[in-house]
Amino acid sequence: MSKNKINVAIVGATGVVGQEMAKILEERNFPVNSLKLLASKSSAGKKATFKNEELTIEELTANSFDNVDIALFSAGASVSSEYGPIAANKGVIVIDNSSAFRMDNNVPLVVPEVNPDLIHRAIKTGKGCIIANPNCSTIQLVVVLKPILENYGIKRVVISTYQAVSGAGKEGLDELQTQTQKTIDKEAITPKKFTHQIAFNCIPHCDTFLENDYTKEEMKLVNESRKILNFPELKITATAIRVPVFNSHSESVNIETEKAINISELKNILQNFEGLQVQDDPKSNIYPMAIHTANKDDVYVGRIRRDESIKNGINLWIVADNLRKGAALNAVQIAELSIK
């Protein structure tokens, strides 16, 4: 693989994340020599444009990865489980956005601002490998937790997420739009993608429920954060809520730290951390919001204030574009580091 000639494949190229990956590769001028767009048989033959060139969507097969250097996977866990190892065995650097390999002890789970060293360890052999992209809500959380952990230590984290419908793909986006119009027109609504009506409603249910009554989404936040931060004993609990927002996830986070925190100092530390933007001027009504973070690359944090109910507690509000930093951008950033 030459730095100036990278052959790239996107698996799941017709999905919302796959399309965003292609868009970001072009925006960031990633050194693409050739781009192969892969999808299911039903999508094969469709056209897409990359850098003013019309490309044809190809059917994903075991032979799709010949002469590919980097493959960005965004087609779901079952596809990644089947084709990820095939690609890696052919010498491809696989960057997988699904949950298939995230908790595999032999696969690094990477957020470039937090644990970039794992990328170099994974590819130093010169052979193919798999690098996992974390869950969208986990990514924006750990970008904030990392500098706090390094400077103050962390005892406990309590997080509530307010997740946009784009996290559920095109079907989620379509359902919110359709139900909103039907509500306005006073027409009957039958939920399809979500368990209940999402328009003008909040649903405390993202992904399926587990035996402990937490959802998979909530346990992803818990387990993935521990792995990324290399802090297996981290006390963390989560509640994930689907909200009627098209794009960008929001998170209310309460953190109890080991050391006392000076709020002004903390704001400076966060502002100077790569990939973070502090928006915190409550007197002027300035704080992160989903409508302002959509299509932005950074993670935004605000409402930074002391939790007066405990000794070393703080409250934060974190917002980020779940399709960009929460998925496609994070994968491309891993790809960028892998070729350096």
List the catalytic residues.
136, 249
Q: Which position has the token pair 């100036």?
A: 4
Residues in Cβ contact with 272 at an 8 Å cutoff, skipping those fewer than 6 apart: none
DSSP string, 68-81: -SEEEE-S-HHHHH
Cα distances (Å, whole numbers) of residue 268 to 20, 96, 133, 277: 32, 33, 28, 10
φ/ψ (deg, to 5) at 190: -120, 105
Q: Structure tokens of 137?
A: 């809500």
Longest dimension (CA), the chain: 61
3-state helix, strand, coil in the chain (%, to 5): 35, 25, 40
Q: Are 279 and 302 spatial neighbours (Cβ–Cβ below 8 Å)?
A: yes
